[in-house]
């Protein structure tokens, strides 16, 4: 099985939302979206938010 990770980061006021999903490359099936909301600056997103989102997607999808 070959998987690809996709997602986005958006900002509203002082909040950032990170959404990640796993795509099965062979079938095109998209696994459920993992979403993390964080208050702060982009530095906090890069150091904590992405790690939190990645850990959630690993736990939720067994990747």
Give 35-60 pLDDT, tens digit per residue: 888 888 888 777 778 888 878 877 87
pTM to 2 decimal places: 0.68
What range does the domain containing 48 cover? 3-61
Please enumerate in sequence order all residues whose Cβ is within 8 A of that of 25, keeping only pairs 6 or more positions apart, or say none: 2, 3, 4
Please enumerate in sequence order all residues whose Cβ is within 8 A of that of 40, keeping only pairs 6 or more positions apart, or say none: 14, 16
| Higher per-residue pLDDT: 27 or 60 | 27
Q: What is the pLDDT of residue 29?
A: 93
Number of domains in the chain: 1
SS3 57: helix
- Could you give the percent of the chain with pLDDT greater than 90? 14
């Amino acid at each position: 099985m070959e998987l690809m990770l996709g997602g986005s980061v958006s900002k509203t006021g002082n909040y950032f939302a990170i959404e990640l999903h796993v795509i099965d490359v062979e079938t095109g099936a998209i696994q459920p979206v993992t979403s993390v909301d964080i208050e702060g600056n982009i530095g906090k997103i890069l150091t904590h938010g992405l790690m939190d989102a990645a850990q959630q997607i690993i736990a939720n999808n067994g990747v």
